[in-house]
Amino acid sequence: MRILKLTPKTEAELLKLRQTHDARAYRIATRIIADVRKRGDHALLAWSAKLDGNDTRKKALWITRKEMAQAKRRVAREFLRAVEHSASNVRRVAEKQLPRDWSLNVENGVTIRQLVRPLDSIGCYIPGGRFALLSTLVMTVVPAQVAGVPRIVAVCPRPNDALLATADLLGVCEFARVGGAQAIAALAYGTKQIAPVEKICGPGNRFVTAAKQIASADCAIDMPAGPTEAVVLANSGNPAWIAADLLAQAEHAPDAGSFLVTTSPAFALRVRQEVFLQLKRLPKTNPAHQSMRNTGAILLAASTAQACEFVNRFAPEHLSLPVNGENFLRRIRSSGTVFLGPLSGQPFGDYSSGSNHVLPTGGWARRRGGLSAADFVKCIAVQEIASAGFRSLATDVEALAHAEGLLAHARAVAVRP
């Protein structure tokens, strides 16, 4: 793990790494999407067999509720209790996040109301690389259920018993054994077997991310999902705990980015030593080894102000403030989520605290927050103009319409009494 001085050049290099356009992923995703749109299920199943090894002669595309129930009986009771605990907390937070109906008398005779209505359907993409991420199923399905979405479709290329048991607990009715860009194409445009959805959510690999961005012209998506990012901002604290948080996110993928930002050279050395010690306890096959060697770094800032401004420009997916957190937090404007205090380890947010772990990466935290129940509803504005409101607004509306040269707009007011 490198120790680098935080200079404008270092910052520019780190930011540039996240702005690389993945031309190969876009090219392949474009080809797959076009094929699925043209040939439907034939292309969907062919790409699934080629890329994921899913042979529909052995396993059907759709997973039945019976399969889910059987998987649920095969997993440990302690696991089911943990899933229920996680889902309960995510549900409580989602209920707090949900936008509400309201009504406002803007002025006498002018009333604006907001109606909150759920999306008709959503697709939940569940990564199925080394492991099927059951936590992502919880994080996408539960807020959609809270929002009242009537049709929720989950997809995963290689669902295991833990994922299927989680789906059974959550009451998922539509679950397809498919992944990759071909799954995104099916969800966005539909095939005979998979009806299209209004919005696709959930992270995936580079090809899934490219496919979501391509399909976003026709189907809403939550956000682009790049490599996982973790930043710890601290000048002191427990080096073992901080190293553990950095490694926890680093093991997601070889290109995950884990960074300590500090003003203390001595503290930087202690954390780096602890990272090396903990890496020795991980299997050589764990992606954290490659991630910490190639991507991870400790950044030495000249001042706390410089450190905080870097964090705001970097806008990390995960930010930990283990010591002196409230003072740092006042300076933070951009982060997907913040872990405040020494006991707030990042895995709590990945699984069970209740906050959503589908978060903006690649600097998107400068523009939006993490997935929430609000992502699964539409806010519809209702406008009612009564007589008093008409008399108050008519002259001004006509004047503004004439100023823009929109004569039919002005007449639509003038023809009314």
3-state secondary structure at position 148: coil
- Strand blocks (E) in 23-63: none
User: Hey, what are 53's tokens?
Assistant: 């090894």
Q: Nearest 5 degrees, angle CA 191-CA 26-CA 202?
A: 60
317 is catalytic: yes
Count of other CB atoms within 10 angstroms of residue 139: 28
User: Hey, what are 175's tokens?
Assistant: 């679950």
3-state secondary structure at position 233: strand
C-alpha to C-alpha distance for 257 and 70, rounded to whole angstroms: 38
Which sign, positive or negative, has the C-alpha torsion 372, 25, 17, 1? positive
Torsion of CA 99, 100, 106, 111, to 10 degrees: 120
| DSSP3 helix / strand / coil % (the chain, rounded to 5) | 50, 15, 35
Residue (of 313, 310, 338) closest to 326 by Cα position: 338
Question: Considering 229, 251, 317, 357, which one is annotated as catalytic?
Answer: 317
What is the separation of C-alpha 350 from the centre of its chain, rounded to a whole number of angstroms?
A: 11
Name 87's Cβ contacts closer than 8 Å, sequence gap at least 6. Answer: 138, 142, 169, 170
300, containing H or E segment: strand 297-300
C-alpha to C-alpha distance for 147 and 334, rounded to whole angstroms: 26
C-alpha to C-alpha distance for 222 and 187, rounded to whole angstroms: 14
C-alpha to C-alpha distance for 351 and 30, rounded to whole angstroms: 33
Question: Considering 107, 318, 326, 404, which one is annotated as catalytic?
Answer: 318
Write the DSSP assignment of 108-142 as a string of letters. TTEEEEEEEEE-SEEEEE--BSSSB-HHHHHHHHH
C-alpha to C-alpha distance for 248 and 351, rounded to whole angstroms: 12
Catalytic residues: 317-318
